[in-house]
C-alpha cells in the first residue's frame, strides 16, 4: 500500500561525534556528516542510496565568548531520481547546559531538483561544542513524488519487510530452486518464476546452457539480488557497480537502472555541494572552512505522520456531533468539540481520540493547529502538542484520549455561525521491524503476483472451497513453514514411489480444507496469497479471516498485524458511543 496524499513517512536520525572523532574547532567552520541512506546507518548501506547528509555551521569563538552563532542544515541529493520528496525537516539540539530545543528548517533553492537544501535560522548555543562533539537529532518527513514515473522510481510502501529476503534466502540455500546460471565457473541457483516474472530477457537464458554472457560474478549476484528483493546489493566497489549497471541495461531491468543513476550522479555531489556554499552564508563576508564526513549518523526510529483537517460550523450553544474518521490500516480516530463556560468568553474543549490501531504501529503524539481560511494542503510545521488524558488497553492500543482547551473569538454572538478549522498531525511510530513503510521497487510485488494470475511456471494447484489457485511451491515454502513441511512430505512420498516428471509436478492438486470443520473462505484465502506473494495487505476488511490463515500456516508478520482485527467488529459504532460520552 502506497502513501496517500495526507500521509508522510518520517525517519528519526542522530548525528553524533564522540571524543574519538576529530574535534570541532572554535573558529568559523561548517561541519558536514557522511552521506547516509534513507533506511540505513552510514556504516551499512543496505539499499545503496546514500542521498542524505547533515551540516552545522558555527560562527564565533567558544573559548572566549562561551557561545556560538549556529545554523543547522540538511542536504538531500538525487531524491528526484529516487521518486520521493522531502516535505519538512526539524532538528533537536541536545546541550549539556541548556534544555533541548527544536528547530524547523526551511528549504532553499526550491527550483533545484538535483540537490535540496534545508537551512535553519541563526540561533545561539551557549556551550563549548568542540569539547563535547556534535549531538543533533533530526526528523525528516518524506512522501512519494506524485510527478515521477511510478514504474521507474522507488516508492514508500507499507509491506512485510521480510518477504523478499525470505525468497532470497531460499535461493541462497537452494531450497526448491529449479534453474541455474553459470558465471566464470560459478553456479548461481534461482527460481524460474522469479526470473521470468522480474526479467524476461534473462529468463530466455534458462533454456540454454545457463551461460549469462558476463564474467563478473559479483555484478551478476547483484542482479539476482535486485530481482529477488528490489534492493541494491551492499558492499559493491566502483568496478562492480559499473558492471552491474551494464548488466541491468543488457537485461532491461528498468528500476535497477534508475537506482544506479542515483549512485553514479552522486560522484559529483561534493563538488556541487561546495559550489553552492557561498549562497548559504548566514553572515556576509565570512570565510568558512568546510569539513566533510564528520561523525556518524544512526537511524533511531521510523513512523507515519497522518494529516487531517477538522472543519465544523455551528452556533454558540449548539451540541456539536462527534466526527469519526478512519485512515486505512491505521484504525479509527474521533474529534469532539464541547462547550464549557468561561468568564472571558466561550471556552471549548477539543478532544482527539484513537480507537484500536492496527498492530505494528503505536500512537505516540497528536498535535493541532487552529487555521484561518481554506483547507490546508501541505504538511504544517508549527503545531501545539495535545495532552494525553486517558489510555486503556496497553499494547493493544484500544483507546487513547488527548484533550486541549481552545477559546473562540470574544465577538461570537449566540445567533451567528462560527467555523472552526483545526489541522491535526497524528504521529504513529513503527513498533514491529517486520511491518512498516520502506523504500521499495513498486514493480516487484506486481510482477510476483502477475506470475500467479498468468500461471507462469506454477507447479501446484490448491483447492479452497469452490475455487482453485495455481501457485508456486517455492514461494509458499519460503514464506510459510507449514507449506514448506507439506510440500517436503509430498516430495518424500513421490521420491519413494517414482521420480515425478515436470508435468506430474504441475498437475499436483491439494485440497487444503479437506477434513477440516472450519473451511477457509476462498476470497479471504486469495487475500492471504496476495500477502505471501507481495508482502502487502490488499484490503483491511478481511483481517479477521487473514489472522486465521496466518495462524494456521505460521506466517508470523501477518499473524501479528491482523490479530487486533479479531475484536474489531462493530468498532465504528463503539467509537461513536464513546465519543458522545466524552
Band of pLDDT at residue 184, cut at 50, 70 and 90: confident
Helix (H, G, I), strand (E, B) or coil at 163: helix
* 503, pLDDT greater than 80: no
Band of pLDDT at residue 441, cut at 50, 70 and 90: confident
* 365, pLDDT greater than 70: yes
pLDDT at 190: 94
Average pLDDT over residues 123-130: 61
pLDDT at 329: 59
Query: DSSP state, 211?
Result: B
* 421, pLDDT greater than 80: yes
Query: Long-range pairs for 218-222 at CB < 8 Å and ≥24 separation?
Result: 218/243, 218/244, 219/243, 219/244, 219/246, 219/247, 220/181, 220/183, 220/188, 220/247, 221/188, 222/247
* 149, pLDDT greater than 60: no
- 354 or 224, which is more confident: 224
pLDDT at 457: 93
* 479, pLDDT greater than 80: yes
pLDDT at 145: 81
| CA-wise closest residue to 39 among 423, 440, 326, 581 | 440
pLDDT at 300: 93
Average pLDDT over residues 367-386: 66
Dist CA 211 CA 203 (whole Å): 12
Query: DSSP state, 27?
Result: S
* 549, pLDDT greater than 70: yes
Dist CA 244 CA 259 (whole Å): 11
* 48, pLDDT greater than 60: no
Average pLDDT over residues 23-35: 72
pLDDT at 112: 65
Band of pLDDT at residue 562, cut at 50, 70 and 90: confident
Average pLDDT over residues 126-154: 71
* 46, pLDDT greater than 50: no
Domains of the chain: 8-152+266-301 (no CATH), 155-265 (3.30.710.10), 304-434 (no CATH), 436-567 (3.30.710.10)
Q: What is the pTM of this model?
A: 0.83
Whole-number average pLDDT of the chain: 77
**Alpha helices (runs of H) in 298-397, residue ranges in sequence order:** none
* 192, pLDDT greater than 90: yes
- 336 or 207, which is more confident: 336
- 541 or 472, which is more confident: 472
- 469 or 68, which is more confident: 469
Structure confidence by residue, pLDDT tens digits, 58-115: 776 545 445 677 889 999 887 766 778 899 999 987 554 445 667 889 988 776 667 8
- 128 or 13, which is more confident: 13
pLDDT at 237: 84
Dist CA 86 CA 104 (whole Å): 13
pLDDT at 133: 66
* 43, pLDDT greater than 80: no
The two beta strands, 101-108 and 84-93, are antiparallel
pLDDT at 401: 85
* 546, pLDDT greater than 60: yes
* 24, pLDDT greater than 90: no
Amino acid at each position: 500500500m502506497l502513501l496517500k496524499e495526507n500521509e508522510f513517512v518520517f525517519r528519526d536520525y542522530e548525528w553524533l561525534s564522540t571524543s574519538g572523532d576529530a574535534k570541532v574547532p572554535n573558529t568559523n567552520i561548517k561541519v558536514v556528516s557522511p552521506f547516509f541512506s534513507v533506511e540505513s546507518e552510514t556504516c551499512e548501506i543496505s539499499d545503496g542510496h546514500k542521498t542524505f547528509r547533515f551540516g552545522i555551521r558555527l560562527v564565533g569563538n567558544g573559548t572566549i565568548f562561551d557561545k556560538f552563532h549556529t545554523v543547522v542544515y540538511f542536504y538531500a541529493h538525487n531524491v528526484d531520481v529516487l521518486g520521493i520528496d522531502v516535505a519538512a525537516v526539524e532538528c533537536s539540539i541536545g546541550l549539556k547546559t541548556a534544555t533541548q530545543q527544536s528547530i524547523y528548517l526551511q528549504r532553499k533553492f526550491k527550483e533545484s531538483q538535483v540537490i535540496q537544501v534545508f537551512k535553519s535560522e541563526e540561533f545561539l548555543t551557549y556551550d563549548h561544542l568542540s569539547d563535547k562533539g556534535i549531538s543533533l537529532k533530526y526528523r525528516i518527513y518524506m512522501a512519494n513524488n506524485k510527478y515521477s514515473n511510478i514504474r521507474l522510481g522507488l516508492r514508500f510502501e507499507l509491506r512485510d519487510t521480510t518477504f523478499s529476503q525470505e525468497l532470497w534466502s531460499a535461493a541462497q540455500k537452494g531450497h526448491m530452486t529449479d534453474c541455474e546460471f553459470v558465471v566464470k565457473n560459478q553456479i548461481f541457483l534461482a527460481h524460474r518464476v522469479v526470473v521470468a516474472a522480474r526479467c524476461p530477457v534473462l529468463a530466455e537464458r534458462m533454456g540454454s546452457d545457463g551461460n549469462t554472457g558476463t564474467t563478473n560474478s559479483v555484478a551478476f549476484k547483484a542482479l539476482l539480488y535486485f530481482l529477488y528483493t528490489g534492493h541494491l546489493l551492499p558492499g559493491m566497489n566502483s568496478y562492480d557497480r559499473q558492471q552491474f549497471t551494464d548488466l541491468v541495461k543488457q537485461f532491461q531491468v528498468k528500476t535497477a537502472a534508475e537506482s544506479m543513476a542515483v549512485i553514479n550522479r552522486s560522484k559529483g555531489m561534493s563538488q556541487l555541494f561546495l559550489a553552492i556554499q557561498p549562497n548559504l552564508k548566514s553572515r556576509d563576508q565570512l570565510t568558512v572552512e568546510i569539513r566533510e564526513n564528520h561523525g556518524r549518523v544512526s537511524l533511531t526510529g521510523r513512523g507515519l505522520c497522518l494529516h487531517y483537517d477538522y472543519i465544523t460550523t455551528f452556533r454558540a450553544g449548539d451540541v456539536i456531533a462527534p466526527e469519526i474518521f478512519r485512515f486505512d490500516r491505521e484504525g479509527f480516530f474521533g474529534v469532539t468539540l464541547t462547550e464549557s463556560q468561561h468568564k472571558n468568553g466561550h471556552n471549548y474543549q477539543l478532544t482527539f481520540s484513537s480507537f484500536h490501531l492496527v498492530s505494528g504501529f503505536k500512537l505516540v503524539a497528536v498535535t493541532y493547529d487552529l487555521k484561518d481560511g481554506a483547507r490546508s494542503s501541505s504538511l504544517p510545521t508549527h503545531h501545539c502538542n495535545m495532552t494525553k488524558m486517558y489510555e486503556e488497553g496497553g499494547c493493544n492500543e484500544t483507546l487513547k484520549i488527548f484533550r486541549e482547551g481552545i477559546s473562540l473569538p470574544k465577538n461570537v454572538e449566540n445567533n451567528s455561525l462560527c467555523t472552526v478549522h483545526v489541522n491535526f498531525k497524528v504521529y504513529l511510530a513503527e513498533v514491529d521491524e517486520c511491518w512498516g513503510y520502506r523504500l521499495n521497487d513498486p514493480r516487484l510485488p506486481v510482477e510476483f503476483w502477475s506470475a500467479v494470475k498468468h500461471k507462469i511456471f506454477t507447479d501446484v494447484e490448491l483447492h479452497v472451497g469452490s475455487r482453485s489457485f495455481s501457485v508456486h511451491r517455492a514461494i509458499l515454502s519460503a514464506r510459510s513453514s507449514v507449506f514448506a513441511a507439506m510440500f517436503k512430505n509430498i516430495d518424500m512420498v513421490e521420491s519413494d514411489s517414482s521420480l515425478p516428471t515436470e508435468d506430474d509436478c504441475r498437475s499436483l492438486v491439494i485440497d487444503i480444507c479437506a477434513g477440516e470443520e472450519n473451511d477457509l473462505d476462498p476470497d479471504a484465502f486469495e487475500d492471504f496469497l496476495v500477502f505471501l506473494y507481495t508482502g502487502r495487505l490488499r484490503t483491511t476488511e478481511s483481517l479477521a479471516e487473514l489472522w486465521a490463515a496466518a495462524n494456521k500456516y505460521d506466517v508470523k508478520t501477518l499473524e501479528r498485524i491482523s490479530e487486533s482485527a479479531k475484536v474489531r467488529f462493530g468498532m465504528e459504532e463503539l467509537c461513536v458511543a464513546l465519543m458522545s460520552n466524552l
